[in-house]
Amino acid sequence: MATAAVTTERKNYLNAEYGIRSWLLTTDHKRIALLYLLSITLFFFIGGFFALLIRLELLTPAGDLLTADMYNKAFTMHGQIMVFFFLIPSIPAVLGNFLIPMMIGAKDLAFPRINLLSWYIYVAAGVLYIYCLATGGVDTGWTFYTPYSSMFSNTHVVEAGLAIFIVGFSSILTGLNFVVTVHRMRAPGLTWSRLPLFVWSHYATSIIMLLGTPVIAITLVLVVLERTLNLGIFDPARGGDPVLFQHLFWFYSHPAVYIMILPSMAVMSEIIPCFSRKRVFGYTFVAMSSIAIAAIGFIVWAHHMFVAGISLYSALVFSCLSFLVAVPSAIKVFNWTATMYKGSVSFSTPMLYAMGFIGLFTIGGLTGLFLATLGVDVHVHDTYFVIAHFHYVMVGGAVMGYLGGMHFWWPKISGRMYPEGWGRLAAVVVFIGFNLTFFPQFIVGYLGMPRRYWQYPPEYQVYNVLSTAGASILAVGYLLPMVYLLWSLRYGKIAPDNPWQATGLEWRTASPPPTFNFDETPEVTWEAYEYDKMPLPEEVTLER
């Protein structure tokens, strides 16, 4: 699809070779990024379809559209697909894969074939998950809590568990590749203190992938073993401990939240300086806060378990630590905001997404404090308040960042400009639709509506109707970029090499880049974000 649409005279990674073989056997990080783009987009729309079912069911208090079992499967598969098959690979495997080698002046990642392998592992896991879905699906909630998942559920827990076990390896290999690449393949002169913050943030993400993912893999294998062989690991009737599962699960799944949000923060740290024409405010603090988030993120997991039956004192410790992890996130938000100060701010599409991100991530982060506060968490835990909170972070944060990044680097990836007017419109529609969908859920959550409810007391209906209305606007906001980005592949203006006059090395090569990125290895003698040395970009016009 992409190959047919792009026609430029220069040889680039898209027209260097043709044919399906040249894609399926490629070791070019840019082509692999596009393979990932296609596959995660497919899963985004499957996951989105389940979200649609959930919102339609909740339009009325009675359980009327779906059966209870169908509803339980819908929210389970929405969660598992969005977390494991969309959000975790989204920015790292697409934008990270495409950009990191170029940003550090390398020809490719350190292990190009392992990079391709990681995509095949992703596809294998995806096929297994779709098989699970097609043969009846799974209903445990994305969290797989035992002993429900291991002994009581009558659905395809083993298939789903194995699919997620397998997809974890794709994430481990991507992380490994990034870590080695950043350590070993930086261009001459590109010291750590000159690295773009995008790379810093992905480096932190990769460390979490490497250290955390094996734990969820082991945990899911234990669930599968208990389910198939009746081992007593988590089921108390067989001498196991169900709370042990929660510790293991959240030991990965809380840091996984940072796997999802750090890459989005990476995108922000590129977009905001570029469209403010300023060096990023407090480079060292933004870089180090990524590392701090990755490190502290590993010691806060039990804040998901304040009412699960853990001891009073461990709850106190985990509550206190959870507040600490908010500090580096706050540092980032303040620094991005300060970057705009005395800048030359343009309202281009990526910047609109960035400003939206800061706003929504701020709300998502602040409502996280409610959940870290022990006495408050007891009330709002497992209610829609939690749902609203993590969608503000995961969708308002991670997905806004992903869309902002897709627009920002689209000229580089495709060699075409997207229609600016449509881009801005979509960004505004997403922002409005998102808030209308998820803000009412804070209120209905505080009122006490538990999550994962197929039917609910009628006094909660108003908020659910608002939420469903918002979701339909949000759906339009997500379909718009799909349409005009595809449209731009054929009809978009040819993109210059550096349409935004951005400072990164990826902008110093052709759009789209040649297969080996640079004609000769660049030598870096400057810091990241020297926007005073860059000319202003041509005014972006709203005409197509």
Partner 1 sequence: MFDNLPLWPTAASSHARYEDWLFIFLTVVSVVMTVLIFAVIAVFAMKYRRRHGREATQIEGSLLLEIGWSIAPLGIMMLMFAGGAVLYFIMRSPPRDSAQVYVVAKQWMWKLQHMEGPREINQLHVPVDRDVELIMTSQDVIHSFYVPAFRVKQDVLPGRYTTLWFRATKPGTYHLFCAQFCGTMHSGMIGEVTVMESKDYQAWMTSAAPSGSLAQTGMTLFQQLGCNTCHLNDVQGRGPVLKGVYGNPVQLGDGRTVTADENYIRESILVPAAKVVSGFRPIMPSWQGQVNEEQLNELIAYIKSLNPPPTGEAVTAGAPGGTTPPPSAK
Site for partner 1 in 200-239 (CB under 8 A): 235-237
Shortest Å distance, C-beta 329 to partner 1: 10
Give the residue, chosen from 1, 134, 229, 312, that forms a contact with partner 1 under the rule CB under 8 A. 312
Pick the stretch among 222-230, 307-315, 427-435, 504-512 that binds partner 1 (CB under 8 A).
Answer: 307-315
Give the residue, chosen from 8, 65, 66, 279, that forms a contact with partner 1 under the rule CB under 8 A. 279
Q: Does 450 contact partner 1 by CB under 8 A?
A: yes
CA-based nearest residue to 119, from 204, 217, 39, 22: 39
Tokens of 442: 């804070």
CA-based nearest residue to 263, from 41, 412, 89, 44: 89
Pick the stretch among 31-39, 106-114, 120-128, 336-344 that binds partner 1 (CB under 8 A).
Answer: 336-344
Tokens of 471: 């979701």
Give the residue, chosen from 3, 12, 72, 468, that forms a contact with partner 1 under the rule CB under 8 A. 72
Q: Does 447 contact partner 1 by CB under 8 A?
A: yes
CA-based nearest residue to 479, from 41, 153, 35, 118: 41
From start to end of 459-516, where are the E strands?
none
CA–CA gap between residue 296 and residue 291 (Å, rounded)? 9
Give the residue, chosen from 101, 147, 492, 522, that forms a contact with partner 1 under the rule CB under 8 A. 147
Q: Does 277 contact partner 1 by CB under 8 A?
A: yes
C-beta of residue 266 within 8 angstroms of C-beta of residue 201 = yes
CA-based nearest residue to 92, from 193, 199, 168, 191: 199
C-beta of residue 407 within 8 angstroms of C-beta of residue 350 = yes
Give the residue, chosen from 370, 439, 487, 516, that forms a contact with partner 1 under the rule CB under 8 A. 370
**Between the CA of residue 94 and those of 100, 139, 470, what are the distances in Å?**
10, 30, 28
CA–CA gap between residue 45 and residue 181 (Å, rounded)? 32
How far apart are the two ends of the chain, measured CA to CA in Å?
22
Shortest Å distance, C-beta 242 to partner 1: 6
Pick the stretch among 107-115, 416-424, 443-451, 509-517 that binds partner 1 (CB under 8 A).
Answer: 443-451
Shortest Å distance, C-beta 334 to partner 1: 5
Coil, helix or strand at residue 450? strand
Tokens of 459: 């006094």
Shortest Å distance, C-beta 512 to partner 1: 27
Shortest Å distance, C-beta 228 to partner 1: 18
Shortest Å distance, C-beta 357 to partner 1: 11
Pick the stretch among 107-115, 189-197, 363-371, 518-526 that binds partner 1 (CB under 8 A).
Answer: 363-371
Q: Does 383 contact partner 1 by CB under 8 A?
A: yes
Q: Does 499 contact partner 1 by CB under 8 A?
A: no
Q: Which is nearer to partner 1, 17 or 69 (CB)?
A: 69
Q: Does 311 contact partner 1 by CB under 8 A?
A: yes
Tokens of 140: 């445990």
